Amino acid sequence: MRHAGSAEVKSGKVRAHAASAAALQARSAARLMTALLTIAILVLAAWPLRAEDDGIIRSHGYSYFGELKYPADFEHFDYVNPDAPKGGVMKRYSLGTFDSLNPYTRKGRANGTLIWMTYESLLGAGPADAYGENYGLLAESLEYDEDKTWVIFHMRPEAEFSDGTPVTAHDVVFSHELFLEQGLPSYSIAVAKRVLSAEALDDHTVKFTFAEGISRRSLIDQVGSTPVFPRKWFEETGARLDESRLAHPPGSGPYVLEDYEVNRRVVYRRNPDYWGRDLPINRGRHNFDEIRVEYFADDSAAFEAFKAGEYTFREETDPKKWATSYDFPAVERGNVKVVELPDGSPPTPTGLIFNLRRDKFSDPKLREAIALAFNFEWTNASLQYDLYAQRHSFVQNAPHEAEGVPEGAERALLESLGDLVPREVLEEPAVMAHESQGERQTDRRNLRRAMRLLDETGWEVGDDGMRRNAEGEPLTIDFPIPSSFPSTLSAAIEVFAKNLKRMGIDAQVNSIDSAQYTLLERDFDYDMIYESYIPFLEAGTGLHQRYGSAEAEISVFNPAGLASPLVDRIIDTALESESREEEQTALMALDRVLRYERFMVPTWFKDKHWLSYWDMYEHPDPLPPFDVGVLDFWWVDPEKAEALEASGALR
């Protein structure tokens, strides 16, 4: 997610800052529109990539449509503090457990370990003030033909792993092939179809060749963003990418693994010999000497530890705590800051997701009936202190959010898909989350409507009051949640289940430990689950992984198992778009059709981040549009840190 802006909230007055849902939506839309308009202006003055006389494009970075905000001689990203001091400690927390330091396997649990900080790729992560752009990191430059049938990366010869061995093109090829052979099937199958070969032309030059007859999207940026591992370490240890392990290969990134204690903590140290510390892409970034993650079994224990200074930075997810609990002594003394940083990006599409791999959920009328059991208005007022707005779209408040009946270019696109498009998609407004009366948990009007829909689908009420199909099988819903869930979220799901029971549905919410929950997720062993998809500001082949049919049965990125030929065609159309206007039209149609499929009951969102931290951290002001950047470009004020320690406020 990317974030914007800053506004401090004084202790003891948090509740006064709760806004109505309509106001939240309006502010979020305004911020996002401002950010996108800013980017549009920047694009007009961008550094376009143009083919030279030989038809080859050579550049220091990559953007699919050919615009880069930063020129080849840029000194640093605009939003960072290039003179930010290095030093200090960032202490964060994570809930649950971990038993692996390998995040790329389906086995084991690398929950919250931040191990990604030790790895790098040919292209660095995109800047937080531009979308869809990447600049050279391990690679100093790249070249590719106009049709994007191949790409060559020219690597920086000074790049090295933390053990001092050089990063070479052979490591790049090895890492690519390792992901194809041992990576998640939904990833490896998709990439193998698109990338025909990876070849080390010499020690610091690597070439990728792409398949013909496919979209050019997510090819160059895909291979350029793959983590690079040391081939030597894997060959010497015999380690596999698909195994759970605590052994960790050296990376080339700014941080190295310093220490860990399973289920207690993970500690990273900034590498003083980091090869890339003086690169323009890294100036003003990676400022902490140490980053620690402390683990807690539940959020109550974690919150008490924060109050005591056992860790020093917390992003709050529980509205009850945010509204009522940030008045402890350290806040009152001014030792802990409580701030709201507005979020300018579309909110993550999170909600109550149906497992469409289960035949009982095949009828969209049934899914609509079940959705009516969720009462956002009551939940927000009674459990969430009116701090949230109701989410309707997969790209809420973005310019390409579908609204009303399709018109213009969007309607023409949908009509071009013929019989794949249901009449309702063309003739009816985009599906919106239903409204509920907030005075009580159960909206009787919605309950009656849901009962009618259930009758129509053949799930009738038996003598025992339970819904059964023609074969006499009861309608059951198993809804697992991890025991580390915030209490407010657990309560909201419990109320949803109670309303389902009033409809005659046997709904069971089962709280289980984090490790067991991870296994259920990976094996799709649930009826419904509280999970997320991704918002989409641009097209990419990752859309097929998350919303497409080809890997729906096996993709951990598609918790619903959504498999729709119409969705597939629209994604393909977005991938084949030749301008940003065509791309946005296709993405608007995608949002419309995803909502029509009703595979998720949308819940809520907020347009800001709730942050609290011991008063020694600083950040650029203003922040960039697309990232709050705590681990990226914040820093420690050494005088404030010394004052906290001298006063005894921190251990």
pLDDT digit string (tens) for 108-127? Answer: 888 889 999 999 999 998 99
The better pLDDT of the pair 53, 242 is held by 242
Token readout for 380 is 């927000």
Residue 583, H or E segment: helix 580-597
Q: In Å, how far from its chain's centre is CA 12?
A: 31
Token readout for 13 is 């007055």
Domain annotation covers residue 565: yes
Token readout for 448 is 């009656």
What gap in Å lies between CA 162 and CA 577, rounded to an integer?
42
Residue 234, H or E segment: helix 231-237
pLDDT (average), residues 197-211: 98
Domain annotation covers residue 412: yes
What gap in Å lies between CA 452 and CA 466, rounded to an integer?
15
Residue of 396, 399, 414, 349 lying closest to 580 (CA atoms): 399
Whether 43 shows a pLDDT value over 80: the answer reads no
Domain annotation covers residue 113: no
Token readout for 270 is 């900034």
Whether 18 shows a pLDDT value over 70: the answer reads no
Domain annotation covers residue 294: no
Average pLDDT score, the chain: 90
245 CB contacts (<8 Å, ≥6 apart)?
A: 100, 101, 102, 108, 239
Q: What is the pLDDT of residue 20?
A: 36
Domain annotation covers residue 510: yes
Whether 523 shows a pLDDT value over 90: the answer reads yes
**Crossing angle between the packed helical segments 408-416 and 580-597, to the nearest 10 degrees:** 70
pLDDT tens sequence across 223-236: 999 999 999 999 99
pLDDT tens sequence across 621-646: 999 988 999 999 999 999 999 999 99
Triad 8, 10, 14: Cα angle to 5°:
100
Of 266-270, 594-598, 647-651, least confident by mean pLDDT is: 647-651
What gap in Å lies between CA 320 and CA 308, rounded to an integer?
20
Whether the CB-CB separation of 134 and 183 falls below 8 Å is answered with no
Token readout for 340 is 């709201």
Residue 612, H or E segment: strand 608-614
Amino acid at 26: A
Token readout for 39 is 């980017």
**Crossing angle between the packed helical segments 565-575 and 580-597, to the nearest 10 degrees:** 170
This prediction's pTM: 0.85
Whether 24 shows a pLDDT value over 50: the answer reads no
Per-residue pLDDT band at 190 (split at 50, 70, 90): confident
Per-residue pLDDT band at 42 (split at 50, 70, 90): very low
Q: What is the pLDDT of residue 110?
A: 86
Per-residue pLDDT band at 615 (split at 50, 70, 90): very high
Whether the CB-CB separation of 131 and 39 falls below 8 Å is answered with yes
pLDDT (average), residues 174-188: 92
In degrees and rounded to multiples of 5, residue 545 shows phi and psi of -65, -35
Per-residue pLDDT band at 22 (split at 50, 70, 90): very low
Domain annotation covers residue 392: yes
Residue of 118, 128, 77, 159 lying closest to 291 (CA atoms): 118
Give the pairing of strands 635-636 and 617-618. antiparallel
pLDDT tens sequence across 347-382: 999 999 999 999 999 999 999 999 999 999 999 999
Domain annotation covers residue 285: no
Residue ranges making up the domain that contains 571: 350-604
Q: What is the pLDDT of residue 47?
A: 53
Structure letter (DSSP) for residue 429: P
Domain count, the chain: 1
pLDDT tens sequence across 243-292: 999 999 999 999 999 999 999 999 999 999 999 999 999 999 999 999 99
503 CB contacts (<8 Å, ≥6 apart)?
A: 369, 373, 447, 450, 451, 454, 467
Whether 562 shows a pLDDT value over 70: the answer reads yes
Q: What is the pLDDT of residue 514?
A: 84
Q: Is the peptide bond before 349 cis (omega within 30 degrees of 0)?
A: no
pLDDT tens sequence across 73-101: 999 999 999 999 999 999 999 998 899 99
46 CB contacts (<8 Å, ≥6 apart)?
A: 67, 68, 69
Whether 496 shows a pLDDT value over 90: the answer reads yes
Whether 37 shows a pLDDT value over 70: the answer reads no
Question: What CATH number did the domain enclosing 525 receive?
Answer: 3.10.105.10
pLDDT (average), residues 311-336: 96
Structure letter (DSSP) for residue 167: P
Tell me the residue ranges of DSSP E strands in 181-230.
195-202, 205-210
What gap in Å lies between CA 487 and CA 509, rounded to an integer?
13
Whether 158 shows a pLDDT value over 60: the answer reads yes
Q: What percent of the chain has pLDDT over 70?
A: 92
Per-residue pLDDT band at 48 (split at 50, 70, 90): low
Whether 5 shows a pLDDT value over 50: the answer reads no
Domain annotation covers residue 536: yes
Token readout for 619 is 């950040």
User: Where does 408-552 have alpha helices with state H?
Assistant: 408-416, 423-427, 444-456, 487-502, 514-523, 542-547
Q: What is the pLDDT of residue 13?
A: 32
Q: What is the DSSP string of 91-151?
A: EEEEES----S-TTSSSS--TT--GGGG---SBPPPPTTSSSEEEBSSEEEEEEETT-SEE
